[in-house]
Amino acid sequence: MESWPSVNRSQFLFSPSAGRTSPLILEEAFYFGMDRENSARNPNCFGKAISDGKKSRDPLCLKNVQNIIPNKNGQQYEIGPKKTDFSTMFSHDLLPQKNGEENTKHFLSEVVEMLLNYVCASFDRKNKVLDFHHPHQLKEGIEGFSLDLSDEPENLDQLLVDCRDTLKYGVKTGHPRFFNQLSTGLDVVGLAGEWLTATANTNMFTFEIAPVFILMEDILLNKMYEKIGWIANEADGIFSPGGTISNLYSVLIARYKRFPEVKTKGMASLPTLVLFTSEHSHYSIKKVAAILGIGTENVILVKCNERGKMIPSDLMLKILEAKEKGCIPLYVNATAGTTVYGAIDPLTEIADICEEHQLWMHVDAAWGGGLLMSQKHSEKLTGIERAKSVTWNPHKMLSVPLQCSAILVREKGLLQACNQMCAGYLFQPDKHYEVSYDTGDKTIQCGRHVDIFKFWLMWKAKGTVGFEEKINKHLENADYLYSILKDRNDFELVFEGKPELSNVCFWYIPPSLKDLPKSQERNKRLNQVAPKIKARMMEEGTIMIGYQPYGDLVNFFRCVFSNQATRRSDIDFLVDEIVRLGSDL
C-alpha cells in the first residue's frame, strides 16, 4: 500500500450534511477513502481540502473539486468524479426490490471499501488505537454523528456516514498496540469467514438448514478433542456464545450426569450441591451457580498460591468440609489460564482428587486452551486429558473473530440426553438423512449463530503449524516484556518468575514514589497511578492496556498478548508511553 505524505492538520473537510458544518481532519478522511460530504462513496473521491478558509457549498461537492493531492514521489492525483449518488436512495431501492441489483452492488461495494480501509488503518501504527469520547458526548452527537433513531427512513448516504463514524469512534482492537483484553488482533482470513457467515445468515440447528457448517463443526470439534488427548469418536461438543455459556454447559451436564432426575423434577428434588473453583477463577462459575439454582453461596473458593494457582491441599480440605456439612461435592473447575495472572492450575493433582472423591472435573481453558496448538507449550496443560469437560475459546489466544467458544465433553451423548426436548417441528426422526447431524437438540439454544466457518477457514489457511507459530510468538512477546521490566527500577512485577501464558502484570513506580518505603501511604498513592495513566492513555489514544486491583494488591497494569501483529518495538513503545504519561504523578 502506497505511503502518503503527512498532511497539515489545519486542513479540514467541511460538510453541510443534515444542515451542519463538520470539520474532519484530512488525514482521517483520506485514510478511510471518504469524507462527510462524499459520505464514504469512493476511495478515490474526496471532498475539497479547504486550506484557503472557504467551504464547499455543494452537497455533492465533487463536480466542483479542484484539489490535487501529491503522493510521496511528488506525483499528483486529481480527484475523480462520483459514481453513485446515494443521497436519493433508500433501503427500499436495494434487493429484493425489483431492479435493485445494481443499487445493491454499489451500496455494498462502498461498505466493503470502507471496511478494507479500516482494516488497513487498524494495522498502521501511525493511527490511534481509539478516538475517545465520553458517553454523554456520543449520545448528544458529535460532528454530525447521531445515535438517535427516527420514524422516517434515512437515505443510504447517511447510512454510509453512520457506518464510517461507527468505526471512527470505536476501538481498533486489531491495532498492534491494543493490549487491553484477552481477545485482540484482527485476522484477515477470519474476517473473510465472518463476512461469509453473515451473508449466509444460517441457523446452526439442523443439517437440512446448515449442511456444510454442521459438518465443519463436527470436523473441527474432532480436531479439538484430539488436541486435548481424547478419543474423538467417544467425545462430544458444541460451539456456544462465549466462555460463560460453555462453563454453564459444564455444570449443567455434571449435574445431569449425577442426578438425571433434575431434568424433570428440578432442584427441589436434589440435596445441596457444592461447586469448587479457585479464588482466581473467572466469575462465570458463580454466575452459572446463580442461573442454575445452585446458589452462589454454594460455590466454594479454593485458596491459591502467590502465582494464582489453586492449592490442591486446600481443595481436598474444602471437599471434606462440605461432606461433613451434609452437602454433595459435585464439581471442580480447574482453570488453565486465569484472567488476570494467566495462571494454570495443577491439573494432574486436581484430577487425582476428583477421581478419589468422584467429582466432575472441568477445565476452563477459555484463555489457555490455545497452548494445545503448540508442541513447545502444550505440556503446561498436562492433565487436561483427564477432565470430563473443557471450555476452549478460539476467539482468545487464536484470534478467531468474536465470538468462537466451544464446550467439549469427554463422554458422547451427555449433551443430547441433558438438553434434548424432541421438538417435532424441528427434529423429526424420520428424515431422509442421518439425523444425528441435527445438533440443535443438544444445545440450550434454538437459534445458534454460525461461529465455526471463520475458525475452519483460518485452520485451512494456517494449518496447525501456523497456529503454533502464533501461540509461540504471544509467549515470546510476554517473555520480552517481562525481561525488560524485571531489570528496571521504575517498574515492579506483581509476581516473580516468567509468565506461564502471555499475561504480564506490573506496577509503574513514578519518581515521586521511588524512594518511599513500602507502607499503607505508598500503597494508597500507588493505587492511583494506573487509573490516571489509563485515563491519559485513552484521551491520547496511543495505546490501550488494562488495570485492576486484585485481592489486597492495589491497582496494577495487566498486559496480554494475543495479537500476532504486535512486535517488540510495540512493547518498547508501551513501556516508554507509560513512563511518558505517568512520570509527573
Here the CATH number for the domain that contains residue 487 is 3.90.1150.170
Query: Where among 449, 478, 504 does a domain terminate?
Result: 449
Domain count, the chain: 3
For residue 328, what is the enclosing H or E element?
A: strand 328-335
Q: Identify whether residues 431 and 496 lie together within a single domain.
A: no
**Considering the domain boundaries, does residue 197 fall inside one?**
no
363 in Cβ contact with 384 (< 8 Å): yes
Q: Identify whether residues 416 and 470 lie together within a single domain.
A: no
The region of weakest confidence among 21-35, 150-164, 496-510 is 21-35
Average pLDDT, the chain: 88
193 in Cβ contact with 454 (< 8 Å): yes
Q: Identify whether residues 401 and 317 lie together within a single domain.
A: yes
Distance from C-alpha of 360 to C-alpha of 335, rounded to nearest angstrom: 14
**Considering the domain boundaries, does residue 183 fall inside one?**
no
pLDDT band at 73 (very low <50, low <70, confident <90, very high): low
Q: Identify whether residues 56 and 118 lie together within a single domain.
A: yes
pLDDT of residue 23: 34
Q: Identify whether residues 260 and 218 lie together within a single domain.
A: yes
Q: What is the grid cell recorded at 555?
A: 491497582
Between 408 and 73, the higher pLDDT residue: 408
Between 64 and 576, the higher pLDDT residue: 576
| Cis bond before residue 96 (omega within 30° of 0) | yes
Average pLDDT over residues 316-343: 98
pLDDT of residue 75: 52
Backbone phi, psi, residue 42, to 5°: -145, 130
**Considering the domain boundaries, does residue 3 fall inside one?**
no
117 in Cβ contact with 33 (< 8 Å): yes
Between 228 and 140, the higher pLDDT residue: 228
What percent helix, strand, coil does the chain show, rounded to 5? 45, 15, 45
pLDDT above 90 for 464: yes
* Residue of 363, 341, 364, 349 lying closest to 314 (CA atoms): 349
pLDDT band at 423 (very low <50, low <70, confident <90, very high): confident
Q: Identify whether residues 35 and 117 lie together within a single domain.
A: yes
Beta strands in 341-464 (DSSP E): 360-365, 389-392, 405-409
> Strand 68-70 to strand 76-78: parallel, antiparallel, or no bridges (unpaired)?
antiparallel
pLDDT band at 578 (very low <50, low <70, confident <90, very high): very high
pLDDT of residue 429: 85
| SS3 sequence of 187-229 | CHHHHHHHHHHHHHCCCCCCCCCCHHHHHHHHHHHHHHHHHHC
Instruction: List, for residues 540-573, the tens digit of each pLDDT value.
Output: 999 999 999 999 999 999 999 999 999 999 999 9
pLDDT of residue 440: 84
Q: Identify whether residues 158 and 264 lie together within a single domain.
A: no
Residue 80: how many other CB atoms lie within 10 Å: 12
pLDDT of residue 83: 72
Average pLDDT over residues 412-424: 91
Angle at 473 between CA 469 and CA 474, to 5 degrees: 120
**Considering the domain boundaries, does residue 540 fall inside one?**
yes
Average pLDDT over residues 101-130: 97
**Considering the domain boundaries, does residue 179 fall inside one?**
no
Q: Identify whether residues 417 and 309 lie together within a single domain.
A: yes
**Considering the domain boundaries, does residue 486 fall inside one?**
yes
Query: Where among 397, 422, 449 does a domain terminate?
Result: 449
Average pLDDT over residues 277-294: 98
Percent of the chain with pLDDT over 90: 79
- Residue 198, judged by CB atoms within 10 A of its CB (0-12, 13-18, 19+), counts as exposed
Q: Identify whether residues 312 and 421 lie together within a single domain.
A: yes
Q: Which CATH number characterizes residue 404's domain? A: 3.40.640.10
Instruction: List, for residues 5-33, the tens digit of each pLDDT value.
Output: 443 333 333 333 333 333 333 334 444 43
Distances (CA, A) of 313 to 273, 297, 384: 21, 21, 19
Q: Identify whether residues 112 and 229 lie together within a single domain.
A: no
Q: Identify whether residues 288 and 350 lie together within a single domain.
A: yes
pLDDT above 60 for 139: yes
pLDDT of residue 67: 42
**Considering the domain boundaries, does residue 6 fall inside one?**
no
pLDDT of residue 532: 98
Domain residues for the domain of 167 are 12-172
**Considering the domain boundaries, does residue 401 fall inside one?**
yes
> Strand 405-409 to strand 389-392: parallel, antiparallel, or no bridges (unpaired)?
antiparallel
Query: Where among 172, 188, 216 does a domain terminate?
Result: 172
Q: Identify whether residues 272 and 221 lie together within a single domain.
A: yes
pLDDT above 60 for 189: yes
The region of weakest confidence among 26-30, 142-146, 148-152, 337-341 is 26-30
